[in-house]
Structure 1
Amino acid sequence: MDKLPKGLIDTHIIFRQLLKNGFQISRDGGNNLITGFNNLKTGVVIKRDSSDASVLKQILIDMEYEPVVKLLQNNNIMPDKIIDAGANIGLTTLYLKSIFPDAIVIALEPNKSTFLRMRNNFELNGCLNVISLNIGIWNSNAFLIPDNTFRDGQDWSFRLIESDSKSNQNIEVRSLESLLDEYKWDVVDFLKVDIEGAESKLFENKELVQNWLPRVKAIAIEIHDEFNCKDRILRILSEYQFQVEFCGELSVGVNQRLVKKS
């Protein structure tokens, strides 16, 4: 097994755990359909030789966002409008929609193949009011190039970087301000940010966030330590009156200007 790709090894280990816990797994080429989730209509499709199984374990088995949902509820936040930035194969959106079924979600994933699996998972589960966009988030509207060298190089580590060279692989990125304006959202109730280091650009300075951060009621960010931006991001959140708590790898901020106290 040590000669197999890491993604395939991780998938094999997680599959054994899933089967022991009563999940059903069927194969279709390089993908697998996994069923048996209590809160999903059908199940999820994952790519076998990839990080998809690890994402599934993190979101739907280990329930990474369960304490985040409890924090939202404790602050009287029942999201109607959600942005899932770095949506991967859509599992966080599926989890949030199982709890807040009437919410409108904008799910953003810049990796084309991952995006297609994400969209397929939404269709499988009959998700309504989900807007799927094959783009990334940045501090401006631009086109960037993909970088597959971050961390383990698997799909969940896919990131975008700036480059002076022109490439037919250029991928569109948008600012949160332009996205909110396009969809005429005065407020986003919950913003999830897991964008493999691009959070450093998103929070590059206090001025760059002034047109979108005050419109966010709650935010959950996975801050990647390689980019030495954690202190800066937490300082900016504090300056914009976000009260921050930590849920595992996530930094979760609640905008004290926008929440209703019970």
Structure 2
Amino acid sequence: MKFKKYLKQLIQLTNRFGGLKGLVVFILINSKGKGIIILRLKQLRTPIYLRANTSDIDVFFKIFVEEEYNFFLPANAEFIIDGGANIGLSALFFVIKYPNAKIVAIEPENSNYSILLKNIAGYPNIIPMQKAIWHESTILSISNPLNMGNYGFMVTTNEADEISFNEISTITIPDIIKDYQQQSVDILKLDIEGAEMELFSNNAGWVESIHQIYIETHDWIKTGCSKALFTAVQNYQYDVFSKGENLLWVNHSISKGKMV
């Protein structure tokens, strides 16, 4: 089984990056030790940093090999919110597509955020923010109850949670829009491990200011996440597409042109 897995991985990498580069990336990401893997992609002027033998490898595959966000992208984007930015790879993907866009990359968890800062250091238009996206301003606990690695951290209001690692302040979508003096958001990417339930269930009128939402809903963590999303957007003229684990919601009420 491992042979088939590695063969598939090698084929994907060589198809995506070419024979030699794909082989180099394959060897690096399958190294058995701990520490930091440094990858250099021609689309980026600075290296990518990944933690060996962690979920960072899966995130890299999803974003740069399978290109999970590369579908029906707007032709142009000026303001992007990356909610649940993890180690910054999604923000880097967007900066390749939209080198002049202002990208707010929001990640609550300390260890992910420290790698995010390394990964985006060469891009002043990517603005890091160590907070959690929520429907109101408050303080939440961060935990990883399902032990899903570095991409499984969740926020909760349960202060008595025995596996809580630390606390984090929150920020709302309207506050982000106001703080950066924007009228609307071209792309809102959300991978927030179930917090979309609370986000879309409370004070979700801000949806009218969003052109496109790329979102992974986590109904298997919190029943009703998808329902909360569709209830919040039901009064708008929209289309929904899917690719892999992600849904794309396109708001035609404020459409800004073609998608690619």
> What's the TM-score once normalised by structure 2's chain length?
0.83
Q: Which residue of 1 aligns with 2:48?
A: 44
Corresponding position of 1:214: 208
| Cα deviation 1:34-80 (Å, max 9, x = unaligned) | 22x231223311111421001001101111111142xx23xxxx110
Name the counterpart of 2:82: 84
Matched, 1:179 2:180: no
Distance between the aligned counterparts of 1:103 and 1:181, measured in 2?
A: 17
- Which residue of 228, 232, 243 maps to 1:232? 228
User: Paired residue for 1:250?
Assistant: 246
Partner of 1:130: 126
Matches within 5 A, 1:16-165: 21-24=22-25, 25=28, 30-35=35-40, 37-69=41-73, 72-73=74-75, 78-123=76-121, 126-150=122-146, 152-165=147-160
Q: Write the letter of the residue equivalent to 1:30.
A: G
Q: Classify 1:162/1:15 alpha carbon distance in 2 versus 1 (closer, same or farther; 3 Å).
A: farther
TM-superposed deviation, 1:240: 2.9
Tell me if structure 1 keeps the 8 A contact 2:143–2:165.
Answer: no
Identity %: 29
Deviation at 1:257, TM superposition (A): 1.4
Distance 1:191 1:230 in 2: 16
Contact 1:136 1:174 (C-alpha < 8 Å) held by counterparts:
yes
Unaligned runs of 5+ in 2: 14-19
Distance in structure 2 (CA, Å) of the matches to 1:147 and 1:238: 32
Residue type of the partner of 1:140? Answer: E
Q: Post-superposition shift, 1:99?
A: 1.1
Query: Which whole-Å CA distance do the structure 2 matches of 1:258 and 1:185 have between them?
Result: 14
> What SS does the corresponding residue of 2:148 show, helix, strand or coil?
coil
SS of the residue 1:257 aligns to: helix
Alpha-carbon shift at residue 118 of structure 1 (Å) = 0.7
Unaligned runs of 5+ in 1: 3-9
SS at match of 1:172: strand
Alignment: residue pair count: 240
How far the C-alpha of 1:168 sits from its partner, in A, is 8.5
Distance 2:57 2:11 in 1: 11
In structure 1, the residue matched to 2:16 is: none
Amino acid corresponding to residue 196 of structure 2 in structure 1: E
User: 1:5 maps to what in 2?
Assistant: none
The one-character-per-residue Cα deviations of 1:185-238 (angstroms, maximum 9, x if unpaired) are: 111111001000000010114xx111x211111111100122222133123223
**Contact 1:191 1:219 (C-alpha < 8 Å) held by counterparts:** yes
Cα distance in 2 between the residues matched to 1:109 and 1:15 = 30
Give how far 1:100 is off: 0.6
Aligned to 1:192: 189
What letter corresponds to residue 198 of structure 2 in structure 1? K
* Cα 1:243–1:46 shift into 2, 3 Å: same
Given that 1:14 and 1:54 are in contact with CA atoms closer than 8 Å, whether structure 2 keeps it comes out as no
What is the root-mean-square deviation of aligned Cα atoms in Å?
Answer: 2.7
* TM-score normalized by the length of structure 1: 0.82
